[in-house]
Amino acid sequence: MKIIFKIISILSLFLLTILVGCRDSKIANKQDAAAVTYSTDSTTVKFEGVVTAVKNDCWADGECSIEVNNEWWIAIVYGLRDPSTIPKQRGQSKEIRFTEDYESIGKMVKVYAKIEKNNSLTLEGNNAYYVEVIENKILKE
């Protein structure tokens, strides 16, 4: 009897893994053809895509982030700054919500951001940078 339960548990985990993988690949495949435009000096990037992950740790350090297209991590900074420092220019995130239920995952966004390294982006450095939800419909299936 215990062996049957173990087999059922293993099969359940296996099927769940397959279903989650299929869902994520469907989300990513909807935007695969999207164009990524780099600036001439390769310091900024513009593209559209799907929010595939969210880090909701703003409460700890003032910095949350989203992952778009399973590829680009965009830091979105909130919070206070040291009063003796000069405020940094910073772009805006429009309609991105960092909630317990990760409601931003699956939404289409338009991004213009500074490349920090590899696939890490930031909105700091220019007021023109943005991450904006362009389709509120959740693309999860």
Is residue 53, in this structure, part of any structural domain at all?
yes
Average of pLDDT values for 96-112? 89
Is residue 36, in this structure, part of any structural domain at all?
yes
Q: Tell me the two tokens of residue 32.
A: 């695969």
Is residue 141, in this structure, part of any structural domain at all?
no
Domain count, the chain: 1
Is residue 140, in this structure, part of any structural domain at all?
no
Q: Where is pLDDT greater, at 125 or 57?
A: 125
Give me the phi and psi of 83, to 5 degrees please.
Answer: -60, -20
The share of the chain scoring above pLDDT 70, in percent, equals 70
Which has the closest alpha carbon to 119: 58, 22, 40, 49? 49
25, pLDDT greater than 50: no
Is residue 122, in this structure, part of any structural domain at all?
yes
Residues with Cβ within 8 Å of residue 135, at least 6 apart in sequence = 107, 108
Is residue 49, in this structure, part of any structural domain at all?
yes
Structural domain span for residue 57: 2-135
Taking the alpha carbons of 127, 129, 135, 136 in that order, is the dihedral positive or negative?
negative
Is residue 125, in this structure, part of any structural domain at all?
yes
pLDDT in the model for residue 90: 86
Q: Where is pLDDT greater, at 121 or 59?
A: 121
CA dist 69 and 20 (Å) reads 16
Q: What is the pLDDT of residues 27-52, one digit of tens each?
A: 444 444 468 999 999 999 999 999 99
Q: What is the H or E stretch that residue 110 is in?
A: strand 108-117
Q: Give the predicted TM-score (pTM) of the model.
A: 0.69
- pLDDT averaged over the chain? 78
Q: Where is pLDDT greater, at 7 or 18?
A: 7
